[in-house]
Amino acid sequence: MALPARPVWTGQIRLALVALPVKLYSALDSREKIAFNQIHEPSKQRIKYEKVVPGLGPVDKDEIVKGYEVQKGRYVLFSDEEFEALKVDSKKTLDMIQFAPAETIDPIYFDKPYYALPDGKLADEPYRVVRDALRRTGTIGLGQITMRGRSYIAAVKPYEDGILVETIHYAEELRAAKGFFDEIPAGKSEPDLVDLAEELIKRKQAPFDASKFEDEYSQALERLIKKKIEREGETILEDQESAAPDYGGNVVSLVDALKKSLAKKQAAAAEPTVAPAKRPKAAAEKVKGAPKATAKPAAKRAKK
């Protein structure tokens, strides 16, 4: 597979005195996304946006600066030079200053993944050393990285045969979950229902495989685009190739279904076991069979 033309970051990952030159490439493929343009329908021309000032009309790009609104209609203005001076110094070094067990980092903090590749032949050995040490200790290296003039928390982790660098959200970037979950009614689940739900989960348990999931919306969009091209742009509102499954009246409450299943199990457990009827002893002996040879009467033996 051909690599992207340019890495998004080039620098060093450092573990104490071990310096690992790397290049970072985005692990996300934005080419897969379908993009649309806004079109003026009567003329079929693409719409372009002009930057205008009320009462003045269009303005030159050179006359535009950024402003922060401090009061309604009042702004503090900033020049490009001020933003350039504000940018964090790009040290081109990711120092791993802390190592955390992988399971202690909540997945909600992870943001964007990047593949880290060794930069040059001399980087091959330290690359393998850092990768294998992280894998054997089950830890993730944490530090800060500067990209595009901004500073990010970065996680360095082993991934397949290489190293993955993933940016992490700062604490203040995330909304607290408590405010969202406060409205969930308190209460304890019935242990038997949890056991049954656990049983259902175990039946469907399998290692995660992303290829098992497909972007149904994008696929439907691609089919629609293909039809529009074939039918020379006519409106298509019907003839869906794969309609969403209609479960109709088969959709039942999970708890109701579990309760029904639990009731069946309890009824089966409570049902008395019926032992097979015993035959009378005498009858049993007859059933076992008559003597194999019938003895001749004594009188007949005497005559002979």
Q: What is the DSSP string of 250-285?
A: G---HHHHHHHHHHHHHHHHHSPPPPPPPPPHHHHH
Confidence of residue 303 (pLDDT cuts 50, 70, 90): very low
Least confident of 26-40, 138-152, 262-276: 262-276
**What are 160-209's pLDDT values in tens digits?**
999 999 999 999 999 988 888 888 888 888 888 888 888 878 888 888 77
Q: What mean pLDDT do residues 272-291 have?
A: 52
pLDDT range class, residue 33, cuts 50, 70, 90: confident
Mean pLDDT in the chain?
Answer: 80
Instruction: Say which range, 56-60, 125-129, 203-207, 288-292, has the weakest mean pLDDT.
Output: 288-292
Encoded tokens for 264: 């069946």
Closest CA to 160 of 113, 122, 125: 113
Backbone dihedral angles phi then psi of residue 52, each to the nearest 5 degrees: -125, 155
Residue 300 has pLDDT above 60, yes or no: no
* AA identity, residue 196: L
How far is 278 from 157, CA to CA, in rounded Å? 71
Mean pLDDT of the region 58-75: 89
What are the chain's domains? 91-172 (2.40.290.10)
Whether the predicted pLDDT of 298 surpasses 70: no
State residue 31 phi and psi, 5-degree precision. Answer: -65, -20
Phi and psi based region of residue 234 (left: phi greater than 0; alpha: psi -120 to 50; beta: remaining): beta
Query: Per-residue pLDDT for 103 more than 60?
Result: yes
CA distance 155 to 140: 6
**Average pLDDT over every residue of 120-137:** 93
Q: What is the pLDDT of residues 219-265, one digit of tens each?
A: 777 787 788 788 776 776 665 555 555 545 555 566 677 777 767 76
Token pair for residue 95? 């120092």
- pLDDT reported for residue 280: 52
pLDDT above 90: residue 267: no
3-state secondary structure of 34: coil
Q: Note whether 166 and 126 are within 8 A (CB).
A: no
Which residue did the predictor score with more confidence, 157 or 215?
Answer: 157
Three-class SS of residue 221? helix
Closest Cα partner for 105 from 147, 144, 157?
Answer: 157
- 210 vs 222: CA distance, rounded Å: 20
The number of angstroms, rounded, from the C-alpha of 294 to the middle of its chain's C-alpha atoms is 84
Residue type for position 30: S
94 within 8 A of 141, measured Cβ to Cβ = no
- Return the percentage of the chain with pLDDT > 70, whole number: 74
Cα 50 to Cα 58: distance, rounded to the nearest angstrom: 6
Residue 92 or 222, more confident: 92
Tokens of 245: 């499954």
- Annotate 141-205 with DSSP letters as a single string: EEEEEEETTEEEEEEEEEETTEEEEEEE--GGGSPPSHHHHTTSPP-PPPHHHHHHHHHHHHHT-
pLDDT, greater one: 23 or 3: 23
- Flag whether pLDDT at 293 surpasses 50: no
